[in-house]
A and B are shown apart, each in its own frame.
Chain A
Amino acid sequence: MTEPLLDVRQLSRRFAAVDALKDVNFSVEAGEVHALIGPNGAGKTTFIHHVSGALQPDSGSVHFAGREVTRLAMHQRVAAGMARSYQITNVFLGLSALDNVALAVQGRQDAGSSFRFWQAARTEKRLFEEARSFLEQVGLAKRVETVAGNLAHGEQRALELAMALATQPQLLLLDEPMAGTGPEESARMVELIEHLARHVTILLVEHDMAAVFRLADRISVLVNGRLIATGTPESVRADPEVRRAYLGDHL
């Protein structure tokens, strides 16, 4: 069997007296959509923070693309091919959609150094052409010049996704991409993620169960910082412990 793209081993983290994460073993195979679900406060976002490098674990390790990244800073993990979107929209509200994505393209290692002090970035056609193509991918082709703060909420979520894509990740960490979107926007987002999943591996944290069961190849369930089940959507749906702890009336 080939090595998983993301392999989290025995990850633990305590906040004061609370086990936010306890001995979590978790892996994402290359090419799959792996959803992480769990009730509010289960530690899903904390887990994403540990994978992306925003937080450091007390013990355990994170391996990505065959190397250990536990102690690497966030920007180093991004350079290694890991990108994330945020639960709460986190884009540059004062910049146009295009400038937002162009920043993401510019930050990539193969886009060259950002220690350039003289040439106006505006004249670097490559940056902006590429940024445009990412905006097209997420369906924002018509909103290129719109200031991000003036985009609708669902569009901002899509922009967030375009920025993550622009870093050309192998693994996309999506923290509740559907958060706060209406039913129509959600449906569009599901389609978009389905489309992206053909090119990139996705770790998806989401509350919308319809979306999760439609998108995920595998599902893991986190409850009180412990991973209680991992498996195909069918097996997780049937798992008695999962039903008891969490799903119950959702299914």
Chain B
Amino acid sequence: MAFYRPAPYQKPLAIVLLLAALALPSVLSAFGQEFYVGFATRVLIFALAASSLNLVLGFGGMFSLGHAAFFGAGAYVAAICMQAGISDALLAFPLAMLAAGLLALLVGALSLRTRGVYFIMITLAFAQMAYYLFVSARAWGGDDGLPLVGRMTLGGLSLSNDNALFFTALSALTAAIVFLGRLADARFGRTIQAIRENETRMEALGYPVFRYRLACFALGGALAGLAGALLANLTGLASPNLLQWMQSGTLLVMVIIGGVGYLYGGVVGAVVLLCLEEVLSGFTLHWHIGLGVLLLGIVLFAPKGVAALFGKRDD
């Protein structure tokens, strides 16, 4: 496989979609459907979380089954910040990223010594440990989770307005995508992609492979932490369920549907999965059956994911 290279029409398409997203709240309110602003915000937040996993899995080649731990940790940091009276997102969000990034650094430092199935299992184990830690942490609400008394402010701007939170999430996602797009082409991105392809060869070229993988893993964790902090603001709750392996699985499914190793893989996957859930769950409680059919279809007919149709990666 080669380095990620976007198709020429990808950027204009992304800008059009961004403009459409910017107009979305006004359009929804014009039709009296403000309820969907919250849903759209949720999609953006999961798009960010899935994109952070795609950095680790798609670009770094690390199949982590514990990514939700960093997502959930970010949510808890936001809730704990609120509890401690820190209600400015300009401080709380970086703190969430820092904490989640450090947690990922720790988990990565131990688990990146293993490979293959062992890596999958050990990341899963660490995430489940984190889950049980929060379940048993009485001071932080135990298995009920830790509610936020309200939403944060961003500088002077209150996020309790749904549109304000939507635009905050949209900005965060946009910034992350721009950053990841640059990263893919920069030295670091080329390094981790080459390590994904052949780590021994990279070691034989003098690259300290472990260090680069760890940095990638921690960076992914930090971005997931930001998504978690945003989600806590949206739902008003940091729940231990956010750290559970099911959540890691959901993020994985998003990345796989969207396209592993494609810049927009996480975004596309989050949009497809959450919209599908929204539509199908209106018809039946058993909407997972529909999801199963979709997954089968993706694996059979578009094994590289939906975003593969927009990005190019010659094999």
Task: Mark A residues whose CB is within 8 Å of B.
Answer: 52, 54, 73-76, 78-79, 83-84, 86, 90-92, 94-95, 99, 103-104, 106-109, 113-122, 124, 147, 163, 167
Task: Mark B residues whose CB is within 8 Å of A.
Answer: 1-3, 179, 182-183, 185-191, 194, 197-198, 200-209, 212, 215, 314-315
- Knowing A114-B212, A121-B187 touch, does A95 contact B206 (C-beta < 8 A)? no
Contact B203 A74 (CB under 8 A): yes
Residue of B whose beta carbon sits closest to that of A112: B187
Contact A114 B205 (CB under 8 A): no
Contact A75 B190 (CB under 8 A): no
How many angstroms from the CA of A122 to the CA of B204 in the assembled complex? 23
How many angstroms from the CA of A69 to the CA of B200 in the assembled complex? 18
Give the chain B neighbours of A120 by CB distance below 8 A. Answer: 182, 185-186
Residue of B whose beta carbon sits closest to that of A94: B2
How many angstroms from the CA of A34 to the CA of B173 in the assembled complex? 57
Contact among B179, B189, B208 for A75, CB-based, below 8 A: B208
How many angstroms from the CA of A182 to the CA of B57 in the assembled complex? 41
Give the chain B neighbours of A79 by CB distance below 8 A. Answer: 206
Contact B205 A107 (CB under 8 A): yes
Since A92-B201, A99-B3, A106-B191 are in contact, a sample of 20 more A-B pairs with Cβ atoms closer than 8 Å, ordered by chain A residue number, is A74-B203, A76-B208, A78-B203, A84-B204, A90-B201, A92-B194, A94-B197, A94-B314, A95-B3, A95-B194, A103-B190, A103-B194, A106-B187, A106-B190, A107-B205, A115-B188, A115-B215, A120-B185, A147-B2, A167-B206
Q: What's the least CB distance linking B5 to chain A, in Å?
A: 10
How many angstroms from the CA of A95 to the CA of B190 in the assembled complex? 11
Q: What's the least CB distance linking B314 to chain A, in Å?
A: 7
Q: What's the least CB distance linking A88 to chain B, in Å?
A: 11
Majority secondary structure of chain B interface residues (helix, strand, loop or mixed): helix
Contact B315 A117 (CB under 8 A): no
Contact B204 A52 (CB under 8 A): yes
Q: What's the least CB distance linking A218 to chain B, in Å?
A: 25
Give the chain A neighbours of B198 by CB distance below 8 A. Answer: 90, 92
Give the chain B neighbours of A95 by CB distance below 8 A. Answer: 2-3, 194
Contact A121 B186 (CB under 8 A): yes
Give the chain B neighbours of A94 by CB distance below 8 A. Answer: 1-2, 197, 314-315
Q: What's the least CB distance linking A43 to chain B, in Å?
A: 20
Contact among A114, A116, A147 for B207, CB-based, below 8 A: A114
Give the chain A neighbours of B191 by CB distance below 8 A. Answer: 103, 106, 114
27 examples of A-B residue contacts, CB within 8 angstroms? A52-B204, A54-B200, A73-B208, A75-B205, A75-B206, A78-B204, A78-B205, A79-B206, A94-B1, A94-B2, A94-B197, A94-B314, A106-B187, A106-B190, A107-B202, A107-B205, A114-B207, A116-B187, A117-B179, A117-B186, A117-B188, A117-B189, A120-B186, A121-B185, A121-B186, A121-B187, A167-B205
How many angstroms from the CA of A83 to the CA of B205 in the assembled complex? 7
Contact among B197, B205, B215 for A163, CB-based, below 8 A: B205
Instruction: Among B185, B187, B209, find the residue whose CB has the most chain A CB atoms closer than 10 A.
Output: B187
Contact A103 B205 (CB under 8 A): yes
How many angstroms from the CA of A79 to the CA of B209 in the assembled complex? 13
How many angstroms from the CA of A24 to the CA of B186 in the assembled complex? 44
* Closest 10 pairs between A and B when the two form their complex, measured CB to CB: A78-B206, A94-B2, A120-B185, A107-B205, A116-B187, A107-B206, A114-B187, A94-B1, A74-B203, A114-B191
